[in-house]
Structure 1
Amino acid sequence: MTVLEQMGKNAKEAARALATAGSLKDKALLQMAAAIESGEREILAANAQDVNTARQSGMSESLLDRLTLNRDRILGMAEGIRCVAAQEDPVGTIVGGGVRPNGLKIEQVRVPIGVIGMIYEARPNVTADAAALCLKAGNAVILRGGKEAFLSNRCVAEILRGAIEKAGLPKDGIQLVQDTSRASSLEMMQLTGYLDVLIPRGGKSLIRSVVENSRVPVIETGAGNCHVYVDDSADIDMAAEIIFNAKTSRPSVCNAIETILVHKDIAEKALPAIKARLDEKHVEIRGCERTRAILGGDIVPAQEEDWVTEYLDFILAVKVVDSIDEAIDHIARYSSGHSEAIVTRSYERAREFTERVDSAAVYVNASTRFTDGGEFGLGAEIGISTQKLHARGPMGVNQLTSTKFIISGSGQIR
């Protein structure tokens, strides 16, 4: 039996205990939050080593931002766990049912999925978020983070394991794969006897690899090629502010925008105002020919690949479009299905956009940066699902459960 198979066996046993843990789960979550706070110095020391190694290896500043922890982010991790603890327990909730003409009482009840596998990249906060959400839903979790964040992940995972054990639950409800090689990732994708579902969280290449190679069922979380369309009726100041926030507040995350589409009738006024805001953060604009004609020839010419690229950096593709139809067609062709926004004063255009754009989150006059479990009131999220089966959008506790039917009779036979 390999190391991963043994982890899978341990997780299966832990999952049986967690499925019926009831209020002990909330006790464990509160212990986890307190342990994260008390372990701040230890976590920051481990993270500093990861950041130093990543910087020496040439990691970009935007990706270093994803990797870096500080006091506020650690406190945010703890608060996220407490928010998960405060939510209603989904396990045992009756979501449907009724009494049949033959007297059978049928109830559809939420139950844990079982053992969840997570493969993710350089964001140590994912370790805490995933562990908390899986535990609340009664699942065991096997975490496999990237090598860039290994010391941070290991430190956080050990703190969490100790906390749930202290609360009286099996510590193997949370496990971290110690091998960060590609081989361990591929082996996880084949653990059909142990993992009930596998969730990748990271860049496009990671997600594609898991989707294409996994024999374990996958919930696909998508890369964030997100768009803002500035309609001809838009408030230009509002549009500039939304774009500035959606691009520059934290460009390394999946809900940051990568492309803006501007209606031709407002482009000559809107584009200079938008660029003025983006210049404050030295955002590089890659524009179509009409964008370059308005903003000047020093704008980098946009290539076909720019429309599909998730930059995760201070780079933004810009295109002038003739109509809302062209904007929606562009989004349909190039979007990753994550988050899109329209800025408009027109109720009809807003309704048309929200009805026709097929993404997990569609905004009217607001920044795409709100696509987040915490912002949506879910406490935290294990990822943003861009698929259409089982779960879509930020995945909170309810999305980490399945259902089963419980049928009660009085001797009925068929």
Structure 2
Amino acid sequence: MTTFRPQLRIPATYMRGGTSKGVFFRLQDLPAAAQMPGPVRDALLLRVIGSPDPYGKHIDGMGGATSSTSKCVIIGPATQPGHDVDYLYGQVSIDSAFVDWSGNCGNLSSAVGPFAIAKGFIAAERIPHDGVCTVRIWQKNIGKTIVAHVPIANGEVQEDGDFELDGVTFPSAEIALEFLDPVDEGGDGGAMFPTGNPVDTLEVPGFGTVQATMITAGIPTVFVRAADVGLTGTELQPAINEHRERLAMFEAIRVAGALRMGLIAAPEEAAKRQHTPKVAYVAPPADYVASSGKPVKAAEIDLLARALSMGRLHHAMMGTASVAIATAAAIPGTLVNEAAGGVARETVTFGHPSGVLRVGATVEQVGGQWVVRKARMSRSARVLMDGHVRVPASLLEEQS
């Protein structure tokens, strides 16, 4: 006779934010043992998403078996003065029992403000009947502030609209995001350029040397020229993700960059730091056809950019990598600035696999060092489902 084994019902919201989607939780709704960092929390989120999955499909979970859809977010009351909420992001591995807490998700950042408003984290008197509600978010993974400007109609978050975001099928209301002082201080000394240089020659075991811009704005990112790695910058996902040798090359570049940036001490540590650093490649503008079939003209963009996330070419562009692109484009001498024409700029429009994105950054030199004060971009967000997720109750027993 089979023993009845119940499932836990945990309040959750499934949300799209930018070109990503994930499962959002209020901290207080998690089981007590999962309200703090550790193996219980990680095991819970892995089960929610459906990882590890040797089939790579996430059939038995809420994940979508891509880096853009294997994500969880925990929102809690603000622990920092001058902020409205704490935002903690977990990138859930697809094929291994691992949750990476080393960085932020810029796309899902756009859903944090709407979630905070809808779930009662923002005082009613702060929410206009019609207009914009400003939500100050403390990004706990990297200890930074994000300001979200959320449209409000009839006292509720406005989700419907005409803002189009390449990589998202339907238009929605625009949410403006500001990433304040977005340099990730997890590297060597917390500098924007951990090596002190806008360009370095990177030794990549098995692949020789390559020039790279290594920057920590938004998220630690290693940029290389498309031409230097045998690419054009117009590639779509199949051109990278269906070629093992190209994926191996980019992973080797990522590991070499992580070592030079001081993010890891030995190559084997990279397996436990899959979310960061990102590796991306850039090229001057060129015509191409986006994954949707939409033609992108060279005259419409300043440069081409492609980035890998969790070992695969991203279908659009990660929000945090967009911050890195905006910042690097504004600083003379970087490979990103070079690809964008080598001129000073505060905004840049780049072509990615799904289309086009415009981002901006305000940078300045202080004591001979480059500092980024603010990065800006627009995204959209929408609630896909509100209710409960279920996981076997035995999961928590196994972890206790």
TM-score by length of 2: 0.28
- Which has the higher Rg, Structure 1 or Structure 2? 1
Which protein is richer in strand relative to its size? 2
TM-score by length of 1: 0.27
